[in-house]
Structure 1
Amino acid sequence: MSARWITRWEPEDPGFWEREGRRTARRNLWISVFAEHIGFSVWSLWSVLLLFMTPKAGFQLSPDDKFLLVSLVSLVGALLRLPYGFAVTRFGGRTWTVCSALALLVPVVLATVLVQRPQTPLWALLLCAAVSGIGGGNFASSMVNINGFFPEREKGWALGLNAGGGNLGVATVQLLGLAVLATAGVARPEVLTLLFVPALLLAALLAWRGMDNLATNRTDYGAYRSAVRDRHCWTISLLYIGTFGSFIGFGFGFGLLLQNQFGKSPMQAAAFTFLGPLLGSLFRPLGGALADRFGGARVTAWSFLALACGAAAALAASDAGSFLVFVVVFAVVFVLTGLGNGSTYKMIPAIYAARTESAVEAGADPAEARTQGRRLSGAVIAISGAVGALGGVAINLAFREAYRQTGDAAPALVGFLAFYLLCLAVTWAVYVRRPAAEGAGQATGAQQPEPKPEPAERGARGA
């Protein structure tokens, strides 16, 4: 496949950025948002298809089976984020976006066939769900690609918009599922799957016609090896488990949760499931913008505190049997996951930009240092995106086990509450309190002059 390659790319140069950089970067961004949006929709497809697969439609799937299916989709999507993040730097954003969009036709067509056959064995449904998981890999490749196009001062906005637009795919497929349920009924799930065939073809065409391959956006195995030895890579990954893992886990399982916890019908559950992912996606760019303004560490810390309160409120609503309060609380929780997603991802390029600055001050070649910083940043984005997505697996497995053992979601909600408090403590200790003590005053809003911190901690304060 022939491809357009950009060999000179200097987004930190104001003159270059104004002349041609901004226009090119934004063209690639908008197409990337659309392609990632469709990828997320396919990844989320089974969270809606399972609402159709009821005894009335001839399917005999237990709550255990359904939570296992959405857990498998999450798992495959999480595991593929690493190779997808690497692939886009090898083959280029344009080339990989075209290929990854066309590859998603396979799970869409396969699902179209299987959902019309109630006698399909569970292993075949699991296989199809696993193949649908490849849509989750699109997030990592898209984010790594867009990270290379924008200057540091605009990455919070650009990455937040790219991720938020992609995350909206969860709400899109759920809204489409609601529309199909309302018009065609529970017996016609294939209407939903077939809608994505032209959408995927359009995404591939737009990428082919309008995107570029960025030669300077290269990540090699050495960058990944360096990333996995960096403590910030794993700290950020832990935080992203709490933010994005919550978003995708609750997004996949919320409809099943409403059915099992409150006995709602597929139509009733679908009427509410889209609301949370929609809000979480819309607020993700705001999380990035707030991180640009106030610092990612501070925004992330406040998000985890509020998420812990949200988990406690959801537990209380569940105990009281209040469906309305439960839905409202989860809507707020989704908003908080969106804010936390944006702020956490903003922390990554900020940390490595600060290291680049320190290297330049120490005498390193500026162009080489910035290139290396972008490569390492891209590797960490891919790794943390993969690890963070595993949180979605954990959430649905927690719900599955809670229902198996007690028939109620309460034990899972207690576990989520404890994990959010752990993430709050880590954020505070590593990126708020400790950098302030070492001179990273910007992390906490302090303005007084202080001694120069170590490079890694300066990255934390800039985040």
Structure 2
Amino acid sequence: MTTQNKGFWQSGHTPTLFAAFFYFDLSFMVWYILGPLAVQIAGDLGLSAQQRGMMVATPILSGALLRMAMGITVDHLGPKKAGLIGQAVVMAALGTAWFFGIHSYEQALMLGVALGMAGAAFAVALPLACRWYPPQHQGKAMGIAGAGNSGTVLAALFAPTLAGMFGWQNVFGFAVLPLGLAFIVYLMLAKDAPECPPAKTFGEYLSVLKDKDSWWFMFFYSITFGGFVGLAGTLPGYFHDQYGLDPKVAGFYTAACVFAGSLFRPLGGAIADRIGGIKALLTMYTFAAACIAVVGINLPSSFAALAFFVAGMLALGAGNGSVFQLLPQRFRKEIGVMTGLVGMAGGIGGFLLAAGLGLAKQATGSYQIGLWLFASLGLVAWFGLSSVKTRWRTTWGAAAVTAAKV
């Protein structure tokens, strides 16, 4: 039976897929950890709403910028070695923060910069997994590996509770323990695919930016993933500020939202495999924009806000899977650097959203303007995708070129 005709689980390397997911999952947990702790950290350090927003946004931006560097490292050293290096750096940063403590806003920002390496795991886990699978199974493979977004659920559920019991400084030390387990699992199970493209020069990496499709993918992902991670970092503070919820309850609310987005990433990839990534993504943008616009009305009930945020995060999570069903079809040979570039754009989108919501709150006393602006960008992405869909389906997405539905 050829790879073309094999089922999903027979066509790739399941231990590597699991290792990629587990590494990505726990990396995202610590990348996001300042979000659920933001209310407690801000209270102890005396931070303003804008400073709190910037603290939460810093690891997002750092991770975005490091994804490009990690994408290059992946193509030169292979995903497995790159992932091991990244995990070691993150554990060292958390251990240092726990041992010496965080005593100022500037130190919190420094930790955020270091935690960006955990966000760069994106540029490792996805190429590690996708290179094992044929085109018709890319959506599912990338979706499962990318479901490591669910690590944000672990942080939202447990970080505020542990901070209340042991102090938020000690949460950084606790986080090193599961990361150590992930390191061992990754070391034992992950295996680089036999068909890894040869390393390119830096100029060759940058040459993909001459292709306008690369910019479209970067923009589309800045909305879906940027929306997911930006909201995930902001929601603990949002529920605390808007409805007076204590950090623990706000963490539970946030966990429900990010769980929804994480759950639907692999489902979004599977849906895109079945109906085509373009059709799936257009639907997700419509739904997400509508839900976020409704929340921007400043609903009187926290439960109503939670319901619309969950629905919006479902759409954004599915949109993440849809983008990465399309990307390997267009840039299979350049998937390492394109994963870094697209992931970088997603992280920058998340940084701008988290920082922008904090700025809106500081300037106007409300998150309304920031939420409505983000919903508007979702509509812009819808129109952008509509403008390129015919060209994509008749060139690299044509049935004669790829077995996947575009």
State TM-score, norm by structure 2.
0.92
Does the CA-based 8 Å contact 1:48-1:177 persist in structure 2?
yes
Name whichever of 68-77 and 214-223 sits farther off: 214-223
Equivalent position of 2:252 in the other structure: 271
Gapped regions of structure 2 (runs ≥ 5): none
Match of residue 380, structure 2, among 422, 429, 441: 422
Does the CA-based 8 Å contact 1:145-1:217 persist in structure 2?
no
CA displacement, residues 196-248 of structure 1 (integer Å, 9 cap, x when unaligned): 22222222222222222345323423552332111111101111011000000
1:47 partnered with 2:30? no
Match of residue 399, structure 1, among 354, 357, 362: 357
Question: Shift in Å at residue 293 of structure 1?
Answer: 0.2
Identity of aligned residues (%): 22
Which contiguous aligned blocks of 4+ residues in structure 1 show a shift greater than 6 angstroms?
456-461
Distance 1:348 1:234, change over 3 A: same
Q: Secondary structure at the match of 1:110?
A: helix
Gapped regions of structure 1 (runs ≥ 5): 1-10, 353-373, 441-452
1:198-217 matched pairs, under 5 angstroms: 198-214=177-193, 216-217=195-196
Does the CA-based 8 Å contact 2:60-2:347 persist in structure 1?
yes
Distance 1:98 1:454, change over 3 A: closer
- Paired residue type of 2:326: M
Equivalent position of 1:284 in the other structure: 265
Name whichever of 202-211 and 151-160 sits farther off: 202-211
Q: Secondary structure at the match of 2:131?
A: helix
**Aligned counterparts of 2:377 and 2:100: Cα–Cα separation in 1:** 37
**Aligned counterparts of 2:47 and 2:374: Cα–Cα separation in 1:** 26
Distance 1:52 1:401, change over 3 A: closer
**Aligned counterparts of 2:272 and 2:16: Cα–Cα separation in 1:** 23
- Paired residue type of 1:125: A
**Aligned counterparts of 1:462 and 1:282: Cα–Cα separation in 2:** 22
**Aligned counterparts of 1:70 and 1:281: Cα–Cα separation in 2:** 19
**Aligned counterparts of 2:39 and 2:10: Cα–Cα separation in 1:** 43
Equivalent position of 1:293 in the other structure: 274
Does the CA-based 8 Å contact 1:174-1:274 persist in structure 2?
yes
Does the CA-based 8 Å contact 1:255-1:273 persist in structure 2?
yes
Name whichever of 268-277 and 415-424 sits farther off: 268-277
Question: Shift in Å at residue 333 of structure 1?
Answer: 0.9
Does the CA-based 8 Å contact 2:291-2:312 persist in structure 1?
yes
**Aligned counterparts of 1:225 and 1:68: Cα–Cα separation in 2:** 29
- Paired residue type of 2:159: G
**Aligned counterparts of 1:142 and 1:405: Cα–Cα separation in 2:** 39
**Aligned counterparts of 1:295 and 1:456: Cα–Cα separation in 2:** 10
How many corresponding residue pairs?
401
Equivalent position of 2:59 in the other structure: 73
Q: Secondary structure at the match of 2:121?
A: helix
CA displacement, residues 70-116 of structure 1 (integer Å, 9 cap, x when unaligned): 1111100000111111212211222222222121112211332465x
1:355-370 matched pairs, under 5 angstroms: none
**Aligned counterparts of 1:114 and 1:269: Cα–Cα separation in 2:** 28
CA displacement, residues 258-285 of structure 1 (integer Å, 9 cap, x when unaligned): 1222232222312211111111001100
Equivalent position of 2:217 in the other structure: 236
1:104 partnered with 2:90? yes
Higher normalized contact order (CA 8 Å, seq sep 6+, divided by chain length)? 2
Equivalent position of 2:127 in the other structure: 144
- Paired residue type of 1:205: I
**Aligned counterparts of 1:243 and 1:114: Cα–Cα separation in 2:** 37
Does the CA-based 8 Å contact 1:72-1:130 persist in structure 2?
yes
Q: Kindly name which structure, 1 or 2, has the bigger radius of gyration based on alpha carbons.
A: 1
Equivalent position of 1:174 in the other structure: 156
**CA-atom RMSD in angstroms:** 2.4
CA displacement, residues 393-446 of structure 1 (integer Å, 9 cap, x when unaligned): 111121122122211111101211210110010111111xx349xxx4xxxxxx
